[in-house]
Structure 1
Amino acid sequence: MMMSHTYTIALWTADADRYVSFSAAHLLHEGLQAANRGRIIDLIPVSIGVANARRRPILSREVSARGLVFSREPHVTTPERYDYLLTFTSGDNVDSLRFRGPSRPAQVIHGAALLDALELVSPTSMSKEEVLGLFSSVARPSRPISQPSETHIELGDIADVCQRLVMALAS
């Protein structure tokens, strides 16, 4: 997909709980597709990927059993890209074994902190520098984990945050 921007922010879900990562990635991806209304040129320069996907199976059993399907890699076609890990339940602790972004070590953004920052502004009317500054202001150093966790967060709670994130990005 072509983008009208010269940059893309690639958000890699990297929650310590893989179910949260896959669910959030799917919901954010679908939400951004709807917000862009299927245009060839995206209005929102954000792409979603999953940092803790494993080679086989591509999708975790629990997520695929619930019918959520999502690609592992963010789709970036712009000359500039800015990669961040995104968590919802695990704070700075990330499961990012399969993260293939160009920048290492990646910084992590807590979903709630990003939401709080985005809800105060209108990203679609901001300059590239302002948008990147906003993302950088909520990014923190990540702490890789050795074992994934299972937090058993409700899908509705993940969906609420993801929906609000998409609405804030599209405002």
Structure 2
Amino acid sequence: MKKILTITLVFILLFTLSGVSSHGVDVTNDKMVIANDTNGQQIKDIADGNGINISVYKFTSEDEVEHQLEHMLNNSNKVIVVASYQDVAQKFLESHSDVSNRLIICDNPDEQMLKDAMVKAVNHENTNVNNNSFPLLVSGVVIGIVLGICAGVIVMKKKGKKE
């Protein structure tokens, strides 16, 4: 009987655990510019000179840029201006058209285009506000059930020893 209870508990725990995403944590700001070594300082100077509060990140490979763009899928607050690696951004946009209002691609960027794009990114209002209370509620219920089952097993073991 104890083996059946233990096996059942293990299966319940395994089925209620949620999957873990190994994508990694996004440590970049929500409003950002993708640049390279060639134009990174110029873009930062444009932003600073116009008082635009946006972060400029220099990337060195297409893989890094693609990885950064993937963070947009999970973060609806992220708005990215692409001043370098435009081809990577275009391919990403073809696959994920739902981020088209948050991904600003500047082909052949000049100073005015970059300034306008950065202002647009900073002023972007998020219309996709998610209510995160449901996943928290489900997690709380699952944790409560697991703790309750564990407490019940401990109490039953103590009662069994006394008898």
Instruction: Give the TM-score taking structure 2 as reference length.
Output: 0.31
- Structure with greater strand percent: 1
- Structure with greater helix percent: 2
Q: Which has the higher contact order (CA 8 A, sep 6+)?
A: 1
The structure number with the bigger radius of gyration is 2
